[in-house]
A and B are shown apart, each in its own frame.
Chain A
Amino acid sequence: MQIRDYVLRRLLVLPLLIVGTSIIVFSLTRIGGSPIGIYLSHEMSQDEVAQLEERFHLDDPLPVQYLFWASGVVRGDLGWSGVAAAPVTQVFPTKLAASMELAIAAAIVAVVLGLALGTYAGARRNRLPDHLTRVFSISGASMPLFWFAILLLIVFWVNLGWFPVGRSDADIYGRIAHPTGLYTVDALLAGDFAALRDALWHLALPAITLGYGATAIIARMMRSSLVEELQEDYVDAARAKGLPERLVLKRHARRNALIPTVTVIGLTFGFLLQGAVVAEIIFQWPGLGRWMADAVLRGDQATIMAYVLFTSVLFLFVNLAVDVVYAYLDRRVVLGE
């Protein structure tokens, strides 16, 4: 009952935040010169420009302009992407699939590795594994993603030649049906293991790059909350029952330590969204991030705005989901401000 109220309240605030975000995004389009710049040319007369402005409602007051823009967004009209030479909404799905595949792979790397490292370090507090994990975590928070990616490329691509760059080869992927657009999943569905291997091979370096920062954060949080839980009485009580240390850790301490870590896992999602831009540029991954980077360099406003709006809304929903999961997991949590 309590949790339901909490979720309801969060859901009520959500539209406000989305509207707020859209206002910011809209304001951005108005800072950077005329949004119809790409339609204008020097040969146009003053009248023609005025006509265009009228057509795009640029002669109306700003709030009215916003409403026209917002209603367009709601109807799925995000404008024309100059970079992709197509409407934004048309290009979006394929790019999204590529980005999703990368983000999911990175998230898996980060969650699995982060939890394992954090648990390992927390259970060995102030011993060597703990110190090494701390170095790993602090480095993770200070590591420029673009540099880490390039180091990986220098070592594993240029010198060792173990991993390729870019996404899976079109001809291998072309052999199979692709209902989801996620190469690995499609390969699995088709049962084509050569294609799966190829897809995973291409995925490895960018996923590790993208997952590194998040791994560091998750490991750190898991470590500190495990250390905290291990000092609780119920851990001693579990030992007093005669449970082996492995079960004390697994069934008792880790379960409770996971609760605050869930929040951080949600936060790291923002990390993944941001890192995707850099990782996709360096590994030539044809996803949203690289599209965004191209758009940034060529001043393609429609694409930039669509991307900002999309990531923010996604971020909001993920945070909401994390809060709900957290509130559910930790029924002791004090709900409210």
Chain B
Amino acid sequence: MADIPRRMPVTVPTVDSAWRVRARRWRELLGSVLANPTTVVGLVLIVGMLAVALFAPAITEPNTPDPYQMPRDWGALNVPPGSPGHILGTTNTGGDVYYGIIWGARTSLRLSIIVVSITVVVGVAIGSAAGFIGGKVDEILMRIVDVFLSIPELIFALAIAAVLGPSFRNIILALAVVFWVKYARIMRAQIIHVKDNDYVDAARVIGDSRLRIYLKDVLPNSITPIIVQATLDMGHIVLVGATLSFIGLAEAGLAEWGVLVSEGQAGISAGRWWASTFPGLMVFLWALAFNLVGDGLRDVLDPRTETAR
């Protein structure tokens, strides 16, 4: 949808009290974000997930030598939920589903944090370059963005990961290659919008350098849609990442939700529903949590944009 313009409204503080205005705005925003019950549900879910991810070593005994590998209990294959030592049952290779869920949260957190940080930095840099320099550079960068957008993201990531060879590290890389594009677009639109605003002119008249203007005025004003997108992506990336590892692009035996679902899939015709159901539920809840919060943030931060995915 390259030609449907996204409207990105930005509130314009005055030059002198920009920071104070901004601080007050953030406080107000926090209040209105928390006024939406679905956002609060999402926040609670996120906090829960993060707690599980951060305290995974305390919740379950880490597997040695690599805690991100599923421990195998070869004496207890396909044990149903509720069995002693395996609350949520085991897979057909004796993997403990409970362990996979707990450490899967840590894997997912690692995946989403790495990918979101890389894509935000790269996207903001490229978008800023395009928006600020303008002209030919802008033209070329945006055509590249258009090309990237014309390949459906899951298929693109799938192809990259496949070409690089199946491993979780390559999934991270593939997702990073695919997901920076949105940030570049948002950032460029913001910069062009903000550049037109009077207070940047005011700053220029005062004699600020371009870089200073960028750091002081443009960047802080452009940050809200980036935050919204990043929040949504925290969930979306785990969703896509789990899909890739479900297809088989992660190492077998990795404590990751998609891998577990895939492992459990073989057993469902024999009535062993648990090994797929629980980890899949975790992916759903993770994505749901960030979607709820992302939507809530978007409603408050820029109510007029409705980014469809």
- B4 contact set on A, CB distance < 8 A: 263, 323
Q: Which of A17, A144, A263 has the most CB of B within 10 A?
A: A144
Of the candidates B3, B38, B277, the one having the most CB atoms from chain A within 10 angstroms of its own CB is B3
Interface stretch, picked from A43-51, A241-249, A290-298, is A290-298
Interface SS majority for chain B: helix
B18 at the interface (CB under 8 A from A): no
Establish whether residues A143 and B273, one from each chain, have CB atoms under 8 Å apart when the complex forms. no
Binary flags per residue of B145-185, CB closer than 8 Å to A gives 1, else 0: 01110111111101111111110000000000000000000
Q: What A residues does B5 contact at CB under 8 A?
A: 337
Contact A32 B164 (CB under 8 A): yes
Known contacts A32-B164, A281-B247: A138-B291 contact under CB 8 Å: yes
Residues of A within 8 A of B280 (CB): 144, 146-147, 150-151
Of the stretches A60-68, A168-176, A232-240, A310-318, the one at the interface is A310-318
Whether a CB of chain A sits under 8 angstroms from the CB of B309 is yes
Q: Is the CB of A138 within 8 A of B295?
A: yes
Question: Pick the contact of B288 from A138, A217, A224 — CB < 8 Å?
Answer: A138
CB distance from A124 to the nearest CB of B (A): 18
Nearest chain A CB to B3's CB is how many angstroms away?
Answer: 6
B143 in contact with A16 (CB, 8 Å) = yes
Give Cα distance in the complex from A299 to B277, angstroms.
29
Whether a CB of chain B sits under 8 angstroms from the CB of A36 is no
A41 interface residue per 8 A CB criterion: no
**One of A32, A153, A264, A312 near B268 (C-beta < 8 A):** A153
CB-CB < 8 A to B269: which residues of A? Answer: 157-158
The answer, among A20, A139, A217, A337, for a CB contact under 8 Å with B147, is A20
Residues of B within 8 A of A292 (CB): 155, 158
| A141 lies within 8 A of B154 (CB) | no
Q: What total count of A-B pairs have CB within 8 Å?
A: 169
When the two chains form the complex, which single residue of A10, A142, A297 contacts B248, counting CB atoms closer than 8 Å? A297
User: Measured between alpha carbons, how far is A316 from B3 in the docked complex, in Å?
Assistant: 13
* B144 neighbours in A (Cβ, 8 Å): 20
Query: Which of A139, A221, A308 has a CB less than 8 Å from the CB of B151?
Result: A308
Report the Cα distance A222→B172, complex, angstroms. Answer: 35
B residues less than 8 Å from A221 (CB atoms): 306, 308
Interface residues on B, range: 35 or more
| Shortest Cβ distance from B248 into A: residue | A297
B261 at the interface (CB under 8 A from A): yes
Specify which chain A residues have a CB less than 8 angstroms from the CB of B288 in the assembled complex.
Answer: 138-139, 142
In whole angstroms, what is the CA distance A299 to B159 when docked?
10
Cα–Cα, bound, A139→B158 (Å): 24
Q: Which residue of B lies closest to A18 (CB)?
A: B150
Asked whether A301 lies within 8 Å of B163 as measured between CB atoms, the reply is: yes
Listed stretches B58-66, B110-118, B127-135, B235-243; interface member: B235-243
Residue on B nearest A10 in the bound complex, by CB: B3
Complex Cα gap A304–B161 (Å): 11
A contact patch SS? helix
CB of B265 closer than 8 Å to a CB of A = yes
B155 touching A307 by the CB < 8 A rule?
A: yes
B247 cross-chain contacts in A, Cβ below 8 A: 277-278, 281, 293, 296-297
B284 touches A144 (CB 8 A): yes
A203 within 8 A of B: no
Write out the residue numbers on chain B whose beta carbons fall within 8 Å of the beta carbon of A10. 3
A311 touches B283 (CB 8 A): no
B109 part of interface (Cβ distance < 8 Å): no
Q: Is B223 an interface residue (CB 8 A)?
A: no
A312 cross-chain contacts in B, Cβ below 8 A: 150-152, 155
Chain A residues positioned under 8 Å from B273 (CB to CB) = 154, 158
Cα separation A307 to B166 with both chains bound (whole Å): 18
Smallest CB–CB gap between A142 and chain B, Å?
4
Residue A97 at the B interface, CB < 8 A?
Answer: no
Interface string of A18-47 (1 = CB under 8 A from B): 001101110011011000000000000000
A90 within 8 A of partner (CB): no
Q: What chain A residues lie within 8 Å of B97 (beta carbons)?
A: none
- 0 or 1 for each of A144-168: is its CB under 8 Å from B? (1 = yes): 1111001101100110000000000
Contact of B287 among A31, A144, A157 (CB under 8 A): A144
A261 to B266, CA, bound (A): 39
Sampled A-B contacts (24; CB under 8 Å): A17-B147, A24-B148, A31-B164, A32-B163, A138-B38, A144-B239, A144-B246, A145-B243, A146-B243, A146-B258, A147-B280, A147-B281, A220-B308, A221-B306, A263-B1, A267-B309, A273-B155, A277-B155, A278-B246, A282-B265, A295-B162, A311-B152, A315-B152, A323-B4
Q: Give the interface of B toward A (CB within 8 A).
A: 1-5, 38, 143-144, 146-148, 150-156, 158-166, 235, 239, 242-243, 246-249, 258, 261-262, 264-265, 268-269, 271, 273, 276-277, 280-281, 283-284, 287-288, 291-292, 295, 306, 308-309
